[in-house]
A and B are shown apart, each in its own frame.
Chain A
Amino acid sequence: DAMVIQNPRYQVTQFGKPVTLSCSQTLNHNVMYWYQQKSSQAPKLLFHYYDKDFNNEADTPDNFQSRRPNTSFCFLDIRSPGLGDAAMYLCATSMGRQANQPQHFGDGTRLSIL
């Protein structure tokens, strides 16, 4: 089945130690999104790629970066994780950026900071 796959499902890192989360998709969608979801809150958009065009949300901390080496893969890099970065990170894709295009989500990576 075509899908959005996030690895790993659970990630533990140390305070200040860089960490990378990965997302892959078999849907061949043009757009890939990264969301941060803290406990009992709505997902918050960090940034998205339309093809190779990177779009950062204004309130996304500089600590968060992303790479999209090809259509299928997208990475979230946290350069120096703080305790406040512990959250579920969700990757999503959509065929295009049109407002009527639904987003398809992976199962998320839960990040813990020691």
Chain B
Amino acid sequence: AQSVTQLDSQVPVFEEAPVELRCNYSSSVSVYLFWYVQYPNQGLQLLLKYLSGSTLVKGINGFEAEFNKSQTSFHLRKPSVHISDTAEYFCAVRDFGNEKLTFGTGTRLTIIP
């Protein structure tokens, strides 16, 4: 069965500093990986996805993530954050052939001016 672990429930970062949000997954088969962002009182918006090919994936709003199969990780990074990046970030995994998308518990990113 697939599962996702986001170890950091809250991450405070100063504005214009870099950030990394950690995501580790568990699966017995190959996976597809996704990062979603949720702004207050809104739905989830797809930031980026890893399906195949290059392990470094670039998404919207300057975010990128790197798929590391040996470490079963898919960490999200941004070199310089802005106040507008304050939101909840969810990592999600889907096994090949599995209809169900499994979410991590989320990381609340707070940008400090």
- CB of B101 within 8 A of CB of A103, answer yes
Bound state CA distance, A108 and B104, in angstroms? 19
Q: Does B64 contact A (CB under 8 A)?
A: no
- CB of B44 within 8 A of CB of A43, answer yes
- Given A45-B101, A99-B98, A99-B99, the answer on whether A105 and B43 have CB atoms closer than 8 Å is yes
- CB of B46 within 8 A of CB of A108, answer no
Of B41, B46, B97, B103, the residue contacting A104 (CB under 8 A) is B46
Size of interface on A: residues with Cβ below 8 Å to B = 23
Say whether chain A's binding surface is mostly helix, strand, loop, or mixed: loop
Residues on the B chain within 8 Å of A43, using CB: 44, 90, 103
Residues on the B chain within 8 Å of A4, using CB: 43
Per-residue contact bits, chain B 63-105, to A (CB 8 Å; 1 contact, 0 not): 0000000000000000000000000001000111111110111
Which residues of chain A from 63 to 85 have a CB within 8 Å of any chain B CB? none
Query: What residue in chain B is nearest A45 (Cβ atoms)?
Result: B100
- CB of B103 within 8 A of CB of A100, answer no
CB distance from B9 to the nearest CB of A (A): 8
Interface residues of B (CB under 8 A from A): 32, 34, 36, 41-46, 49, 51, 90, 94-101, 103-106, 108
